[in-house]
Amino acid sequence: MLYSYIKKFKDLQKNVNSRDIMYGYYDPPFSVEQEGISISVERNGEQWIYRRTLEADTVEKVILGNGKHLIINPVEPLNTPKEITPNLLIEFEKTLLLSGGAKRKIFLTFPIEIGIFISDKGNKNLQLLDVLSLVRQKFTLYGEVSYGVICKHWKSKIYSTSPSPSPLHEGIMELTLRNTSSDWASISKVVFSAYGMKLYYEGDVFMRAHMDILNRNTAETGFELQHINGELKSNPLKDFKARKEAFGVYSLQKLGIVPTKFYMGWGF
């Protein structure tokens, strides 16, 4: 009985892991194609040619040097069509009400961008080669016209258990809501700073975040940085799985002291 139960879970897990996604490490020459994206690195004499095609958009770059490998992984969804803000605003499809002092866990989806990095063996000297996205791009303003902040916009349903979106389009965010005030909180959106984002992938793309409601109008959001070993209780499929940590575009930048948390001062 127990054996068949475990076997069933292992079979299901195998199905999830074998979902054919292009994330991973590649040694040139190689060619990979999925959902209209075509990525290849081919030898051209002493050079390597990186070529990426997505619909009518084609990128070609020349790589000099041998013994490099390419990493394709999900990155913070704030680089395309142009990096103009480090903030991501996720609007809820329905307004959520949280009672005073309550702590609840919900699941949202967030947009994915696909980053292509080149590195020496051992992931040294990582360099971003290209970023692309398959999802709709839209920006919005959080706050007032005078002092607000521009944010990348995304609309998500609220899930009580982990959803299963396409990993090239959307990721899963586990959001812990904590209402530290004694009043009810009406939540329709949440804003995050990309500087704290940590994405993990393996069959799906995952991110764990929190939102602490401080009072009627203010909240603080941030990300959990510890490595995830798939301890999502709501989805037993992932209990056996350890996700890989994705390389981020923002973590590559040489930054000074930047806040990794976002203070939501214009309501939520």
Partner 1 sequence: MNLAFLDLGLSTSNGNVTLGSVLEFILILSFSTLLAKILSLYLRRSLKDRVSKDIRETVIKLLYYGILTIVFFSNLPLIGINPSGLLLAGGVAGIVLGFASQNIVGNLVSGVFLMAERPIKIGDQVQINDVSGYVTDIRIISTLIRTYDGLLVRIPNQQVFTTNITNIVGHPVRRFEYTIRIRYSDDANAAIFLIKDLIDKEPFALLNPSPSVFVNDLADSSVNITVRIWAPVNEWFGIKTRILWNIKQSLEENGIEIPLPQRIVRIQTDAKKIPEELMPEKEIESVLNYEDRVLA
Residues that bind partner 1 in the complex, under the rule CB under 8 A: 81-82, 84-85, 137-142, 145-150, 153, 253-256
Can you spell out the DSSP letters for 151-210? EEEEEE--BSS-----TTTEEEEEEEEEE-SSS-EEEEEEEEEGGG---EESSSEEEEEE
CB of 45 or CB of 256, closer to partner 1: 256
Contact (CB, 8 A) for 158 and 92: yes
Least separation, in Å, of the C-beta of 175 and partner 1?
A: 21
Total Cβ atoms within 10 A of residue 186: 12
Peptide bond preceding 29: is omega within 30 degrees of 0, i.e. cis? Answer: yes
Cα distance between residue 24 and residue 116, in whole Å: 10
Contact (CB, 8 A) for 129 and 70: yes
Least separation, in Å, of the C-beta of 111 and partner 1?
A: 12
Least separation, in Å, of the C-beta of 201 and partner 1?
A: 25
3-state secondary structure of 220: strand
CB of 139 or CB of 240, closer to partner 1: 139
CB of 41 or CB of 194, closer to partner 1: 194
Least separation, in Å, of the C-beta of 72 and partner 1?
A: 23
Q: How many residues does the chain have?
A: 268
End-to-end Cα, the chain, rounded Å: 48
CB of 64 or CB of 145, closer to partner 1: 145
Least separation, in Å, of the C-beta of 88 and partner 1?
A: 14
